[in-house]
């Protein structure tokens, strides 16, 4: 495994219970959002796929089960340890072994190498300007014609009341992660807008509900050829 120079592990405390919190917070919705675009329609056996800020990484394991060549990257040693524990628990054989990088995403210097780059609940960690830089970097890692998938919170649909409820729901999460992992404190980002600004074509959006409100979405953008 490629290793990062030692940095403070911001997910040391909350990392071990991250997936548990996500289930308590959303039921299956977050998980369903994370695997929404990982299906044979979008991902072929042998495709190279990168998971940025992989966390516990059930989505990455799902992609490996489909026969993709999976690379995962995370800055947190704790998160990568939880990912390895998940792999060990599932004890599955994949067509390609999963490649693990313990690195800052900006240190992944593999321009135009990936058929798909996945940012599930990753971009929301950053302040708006930094998020735009990260998204630009992720886009540079995709091959021409490759796909960028962003799974995250949304508040773009519904009436005023439902949008307010979704904002409140987001601010509970962002406050917790701001306090526990020093994530940036910010509004819900409208990811398709930033993706289009980078020249991606939005091909698909799938929504995931909680209490009958679209709280999460998975957005698939295509890089020009």
Ligand X SMILES: C[S@@+](CC[C@H](N)C(=O)[O-])C[C@H]1O[C@@H](n2cnc3c(N)ncnc32)[C@H](O)[C@@H]1O
Write phi, then psi, for 32 (nearest 5 degrees): -60, -35
34 binds ligand X (CB under 6 A): yes
Q: Counting contacts by CB under 6 A, is residue 53 touching ligand X?
A: yes
Q: How far is CA 10 from CA 6, 87, 127, in A?
A: 12, 22, 16
Query: According to CB under 6 A, which residues from 7 to 26 bind ligand X?
Result: 11
The contacts of residue 161 (CB under 8 Å, 6+ apart) are none
Are 41 and 73 spatial neighbours (Cβ–Cβ below 8 Å)? no
Q: Which of 49, 73, 135, 138 binds ligand X (CB under 6 A)?
A: 73
147 binds ligand X, rule: CB under 6 A:
no
> Can residue 64 be called a binding residue for ligand X (CB under 6 A)?
no
Q: Are strands 142-153 and 114-120 parallel, antiparallel or unpaired?
A: parallel
Tell me whether residue 111 or residue 164 sits nearer to ligand X (CB atom): 111
- 215 touching ligand X, by CB under 6 A: no
Q: How many residues bind ligand X (CB under 6 A)?
A: 17
Strands 213-222 and 69-73: unpaired
Which of 33, 26, 24, 41 lies closest to 58, judged by CA? Answer: 33
Stretch that binds ligand X, among 71-79, 162-170, 185-193, 209-217 (CB under 6 A): 71-79
Residues that bind ligand X in the complex, under the rule CB under 6 A:
11, 34, 53-56, 73-76, 79, 104-105, 120-122, 125
């Amino acid at each position: 495994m490629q290793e990062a120079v030692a940095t403070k592990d911001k997910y040391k405390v909350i990392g071990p219970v991250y997936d548990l919190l996500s289930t308590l917070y959303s039921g299956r919705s977050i998980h369903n959002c994370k695997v929404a675009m990982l299906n044979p329609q979008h991902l072929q056996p042998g495709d190279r796929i990168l998971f940025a800020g992989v966390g516990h990484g059930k989505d990455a394991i799902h992609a490996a089960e489909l026969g993709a060549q999976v690379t995962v990257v995370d800055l947190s040693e704790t998160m990568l340890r939880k990912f390895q524990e998940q792999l060990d628990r599932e004890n599955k054989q994949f067509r390609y072994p999963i490649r693990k990088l313990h690195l800052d995403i900006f240190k992944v210097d593999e321009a135009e190498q990936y058929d798909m780059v996945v940012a599930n609940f990753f971009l929301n960690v950053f302040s708006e300007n930094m998020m735009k830089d990260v998204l630009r970097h992720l886009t540079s890692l995709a091959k021409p014609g490759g796909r960028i998938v962003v799974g995250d919170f949304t508040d773009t649909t519904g009436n005023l009341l439902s949008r307010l409820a979704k904002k409140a729901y987001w601010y509970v999460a962002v406050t917790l992660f701001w306090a526990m992992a020093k994530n940036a404190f910010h509004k819900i980002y409208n990811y398709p807008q930033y993706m289009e600004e980078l020249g991606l074509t939005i091909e698909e959006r799938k929504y995931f509900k909680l209490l009958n409100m679209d709280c999460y979405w998975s957005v698939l953008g295509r890089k020009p050829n």
